[in-house]
Amino acid sequence: MAEVVVEEEGQRYTQRIRAGRHPLAADEPREAGGSDKGPNPYELLLSALGACKSMTLRMYADHKKWPLRRVAVRLAHQKVHAQDCSDCETKEGKIDRIDCEISLDGDLSAEQRARLMEIAERCPVHRTLMAEIKIVSRPAPAS
């Protein structure tokens, strides 16, 4: 199981993150009372999804030996009214919407591009976010 540890860094919202052996930071922007020393939690979530999509596309194109030169994924998150989503199960209140714009550079055929867009929907993080998720929080043992 992958382990990530998140601890306050002493300032109001600044968080020190250790993802495996990699240090990261998270914070809120100044206008929200933070110090803006890192991305906010939603930006980190979008980063994980974008990185997964890009890596998955790279692996697939390399495996197929397709001429994919570069992948770029632009993501945005917003809360929208459920009633404005025609293909959503939820019909009341608000839902989270993530828009992903994927740029594929390379001498790819229309069929290859279409297949890569299908593959992007199958990256592990995308599948996790679309599946039922159970988050179990418990107190740490006293030290």
Q: Is residue 22 part of a domain?
A: yes
Q: Is residue 66 part of a domain?
A: yes
Q: Is residue 85 part of a domain?
A: yes
**Number of domains into which the chain is organized:** 2
Q: Are the C-beta atoms of 131 and 94 separated by less than 8 Å?
A: no
Indicate if 98 and 120 belong to the same structural domain: yes
- Provide the domain limits for residue 62: 40-130
Indicate if 1 and 65 belong to the same structural domain: no
CA distances from 102 to 23, 37, 93 (A): 27, 28, 29
Q: Is residue 98 part of a domain?
A: yes
Indicate if 62 and 72 belong to the same structural domain: yes
pLDDT in tens, the chain (143 residues): 679 999 998 888 999 999 999 999 999 999 999 999 999 999 999 999 999 999 999 999 999 999 999 999 999 999 888 777 777 777 778 888 999 999 999 999 999 999 999 999 999 999 999 999 999 999 999 87
pLDDT, position 16: 97
